[in-house]
């Protein structure tokens, strides 16, 4: 339970939201008015709907004080401005999960805090990178291309990948920095690998920080200055290297940093 009491009884606005979402016309009208004032002809052109349907929707919105009419023009009321902003954010959030529905539904998201999903609209410009039957390594090779020469790196690493570490070491040779958050198993594999002494040397130079999370990591997240990438595990616990979400915009990178900072809070320094 998020709230101890039923918030639907406490807040009248819930009734307004339910009223808006029960119609295709009402939210469309409200969101169009969020851009500018409009008259009936504007609505007809943009929605390609008959005047009677549009007028009915406008009267309903006017009745609950979300819009107001000045001669022929309609505009948002103060309450309407607030509702349209909330509605737009809701639709942006839902859109993120709709366009990549299989990715989110087929993988475990248990390691992603609820706070991150409340800001999922930041992922709106993401693209889905996926391997296919002609190139089973397409997604992973794309990821390796991205991290080659990407600059400073912050990574949540739940798996041990030699190809990945070799590229990271090349970047460190070029003066880049690495923050690595991993789990007990991967850290143990690192310590027993041929890469560990190099990582220790770079750590002494202040280029590498390795931390161990105190939780089961089920996300593979990479954050650089120019992009973020996210891949997940199947619900049966196997890592899926056949696809990932890629975002090369500041909002997407901000979302990734929020997730990484949350994981950082629950980790201890190992190197």
21 or 249, which is more confident? 249
**Which is it for strands 219-223 and 228-232: parallel, antiparallel or unpaired?**
antiparallel
CATH architecture of residue range(s) 101-269: 2-Layer Sandwich (3.30)
Confidence (pTM): 0.74
The residue to which tokens 């409340």 are assigned: 118
Task: Indicate the pLDDT class of residue 9, thresholds 50, 70 and 90.
Answer: very low
In the chain, CATH 1.10.10.10 sits at: 7-93
Task: Indicate the pLDDT class of residue 13, thresholds 50, 70 and 90.
Answer: low
In the chain, CATH 3.30.870.10 sits at: 101-269
d(CA 142, CA 136): 11
Q: What does the pLDDT look like over 66-102, one tens digit per residue?
A: 999 988 999 999 988 888 888 887 777 777 777 778 8
CATH architecture of residue range(s) 7-93: Orthogonal Bundle (1.10)
């Amino acid at each position: 339970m998020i709230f101890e009491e039923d918030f639907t009884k406490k807040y009248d606005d819930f009734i307004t939201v339910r009223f808006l979402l029960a119609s295709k016309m009402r939210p469309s009208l409200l969101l169009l008015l969020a851009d500018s004032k409009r008259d009936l002809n504007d609505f007809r052109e943009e929605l390609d709907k008959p005047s009677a349907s549009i007028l009915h929707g406008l009267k309903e919105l006017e009745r609950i004080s979300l819009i107001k009419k000045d001669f022929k023009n309609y505009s948002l009321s103060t309450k309407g401005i607030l509702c349209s902003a909330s509605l737009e954010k809701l639709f942006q959030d839902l859109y993120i999960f709709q366009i990549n529905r299989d990715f989110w539904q087929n993988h475990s998201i248990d390691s992603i805090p609820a706070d991150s999903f409340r800001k999922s609209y930041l992922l709106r410009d993401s693209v889905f990178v996926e391997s296919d039957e002609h190139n089973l390594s397409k997604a992973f090779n794309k990821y390796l291309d991205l991290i080659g020469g990407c600059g400073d790196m912050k990574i949540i690493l739940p798996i041990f990948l030699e190809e990945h570490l070799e590229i990271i070491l090349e970047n460190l040779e070029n003066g880049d920095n690495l923050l690595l958050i991993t789990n007990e198993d991967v850290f143990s594999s690192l310590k027993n690998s041929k890469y560990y002494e190099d990582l220790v040397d770079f750590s002494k130079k202040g280029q590498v920080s390795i931390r161990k999370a105190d939780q089961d990591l089920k996300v593979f997240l990479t954050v650089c200055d120019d992009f973020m990438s996210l891949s997940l595990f199947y619900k049966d616990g196997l890592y899926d290297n056949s696809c990932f979400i890629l975002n090369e915009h500041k909002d997407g990178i901000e979302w990734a940093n929020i997730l990484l900072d949350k994981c950082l809070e629950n980790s201890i320094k190992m190197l």
